[in-house]
Amino acid sequence: MEFIGLGILIIIGLLIYMIKEGFLNQVIQNEIRFPDFPDTFGDVTIFFISDIHRRKISRRLMAKINKKVDMVIIGGDLTEKGVPFNQVKNNIELLKELGPVYFVWGNNDYEVDYHELDAFLLSNGVKILDNTAVKFESSAGETLVLLGVDDLNEKRDRLDYALSDAGEEGFRILVSHDPRITTKMTIDQNIRLVLAGHTHGGQIRIFGYSPYEKGGIKKLPHTILLTSNGYGTTAIPMRLGARAETHLITLKKGI
């Protein structure tokens, strides 16, 4: 009986730990240097958050950043079926306090009335990157280009449209909800950085194993890929071995 009681206590402790891991307000500091980064931009700061799902963004998370950034990027799955629009609005209002907000669609975003979500985001000043690009120009005329593709799972991604919108010049950053976009990319497209989510880092990794890789930065032959574990969860509000996370990314010139 003592062993049974101990087993129950271990299971309860594990469940509490997994819930805690799922609701962390973690900000990962990522500094990424590129030898060809346009130095007249100085340091460019990006707050990247993906896979919010049902979570309410916490003031504690905002306090950890505690500064304006050059851009806030939502990497898809801002919401899902059953999440009230009022909650989405509150999350957007908090993110807007940090800087201008950009968004790409994720598969769970299509569980809601996506026409309504599209209109809502536009009316709240969020720039939607749906197979499109936005350009930034420094005072010296150098260009930084932010591209975004629609969701791969819904077969709405058209990287060719985004590239056409981007033009020929500029340092290119691509945002995709699904990191598999990298399999559709070629080196001649000159996309230097890809930001993605979707996988949740496996969310629950049994003995460290999951069908999905843990989030992190990978150097690929044709780009650098940053995949986030994400902020929220799907199915059950728990994590194991893949902590909830967001990212404060600093881009700069260097080796």
Q: CA 50, CA 198: separation in Å to the nearest integer? A: 8
For residue 57, the 8-state DSSP code is P
How much is the average pLDDT of 140-164? 97
Each residue's pLDDT tens digit, 30-89: 999 999 999 999 999 999 999 999 999 999 999 999 899 999 999 999 999 999 999 999
What's the domain range around 187?
A: 2-253
Which among 196, 249, 223, 183 has a CA at the least distance from the CA of 74? Answer: 196
What global pTM score does this model have? 0.96
Q: Which residue has the tokens 């150098």?
A: 142
Residue 66 sits in a domain of what CATH number? Answer: 3.60.21
* Token digits of residue 248: 């404060």
User: Phi first, then psi: what are they for 194, rounded to 5°?
Assistant: -120, 130
| Top-confidence residue, 207 or 158 | 158
* Number of domains composing the chain: 1
How many Cα atoms are found within 13 Å in the side-chain-facing hemisphere of 131?
10
User: What pLDDT does 1 receive?
Assistant: 62
H helix runs in 79-136, sequence order:
85-96, 114-123
Instruction: Say yes or no to pLDDT of 187 above 70.
Output: yes
